[in-house]
Structure 1
Amino acid sequence: MTMPTTTPTTDNPIGHDVEQEARDVMDVLDGGGVAIIPLNVAYAILGRTEGAIRRIFEVKRRSFEKPSGMFGGAAASADLHVLDDEAQAIRQALIEDADLPFSIVADYRRDHPLLAKVEPFVLETSTKGPTMDMLLNAGPLHNALAELSHARGTPVFGSSANQSLNGSKYTVAEIEPEVVAAADIVIDHGRCRDANDQGLSSTIIDFRDYTVVRAGCRFDEITAFLAERFGRRIAA
């Protein structure tokens, strides 16, 4: 007989009140702090103020030429991203039918009220030209945080919780001590569901022309789904 697991994972955070954790994280971020949270694809480090984002870039040794992304949900993407009908249908199907994590790159509405509270430096370092990268559907805590930040009108930005070029981290213990020390709150849900030997994080697709920005976690499943459902064949 197979015994039920009692060990939490990012996809099944047994013993964790995810909604309360999302509130705790948002309170820290709204206060100018930095958070490390578990995603299905990797652990992430987040902020929403200029001071927090500067701290993240510094501890990650990340170039400002390499923008962060927004941690959002379908509602935030619908508000901010400029997508045609097919792209909207693909976004919805990847979330609701395939239940896959992915990041969208697309043109965004810079004048949307959702961005009114975002400091100029934060927006500048979290966008590239007319486009914004937004991570979607990356696990229970990600989704709870995305919903809460959207409701509060306080978008959250960040990247993987590791120093640049060192590969994504799939447990808190793997994250460099300097990176952990930069956080004001660390949420530990055990090992990431999509942990892999290549150090990959989320797959990133440019929804303007369906080019692959980064072939990451669940890439084969994403491409197979797009080909079967929408006749869209993309390659790394």
Structure 2
Amino acid sequence: MDPHGPRPVVVFDLDGTIADTIPLILASYRHAFEQVVGEVPPEAELRSWIGQPLIRTFRAGWPERADELFTTYVAWNRAHTAELIRRYDGVTEVLADLAAAGARVAVATSKMRDIAATCTELVGAAPYLGALVGLEDTTEHKPDPAPLLEAVARVGGTPGGATYVGDAVVDVLAAQAAGMASVAVSWGAESREALAAARPDHLVDTAEQLRAVLLGDGPVAAAPGSAARS
């Protein structure tokens, strides 16, 4: 990445990247499975689904109960979002700094658009976003690059001049498929080891390191085994 300024376009994942929704998501899953199935999968399995479309996950494992799981999850999630969502220290400030520096900032998420918009407002990110691409905006979803490419197009950028920031392996894979630079953050649902194995261009552990990568504030090591871009 250019050490003298931000990438022209920076697209962010939402859950586990901008907004700490992990406790909310896990609680929503537990509620849905308790109510509909009567048995809750292990937490590691629940965490592995974060960042992917809900209905796709439910249809893959529980096709006959998928619609009921979906509606039960969404209703509980909507009712408890304001109560359970949290900010990650310093992350909203990174978005503000990017916008102030002239970067075009967007979100591409597998969340339903209205819920995603509520989350960005609750954590203070909404004023800095030029576009928000949600579940309904593309027919294909991560790890397919379609949501990322849609976000880049909406802010007038090109994939080769854009970066995607996310907390999951599917985020790294989607960025690679889109021809975008990838930055993985370790404060979300995915393990740091799994993120490193996906070979992102950068793997960061703090908002300060994320700022350094995106704004060129100082040297940050590339992820192990990656080929960091400059």
* Smaller-chain TM-score bracket: under 0.3
Between Structure 1 and Structure 2, which shows a larger proportion of helix residues? 2
Q: Greater relative contact order (Cα 8 A, min sep 6): structure 1 or 2?
A: 1
TM-score, normalized by length of structure 2? 0.28
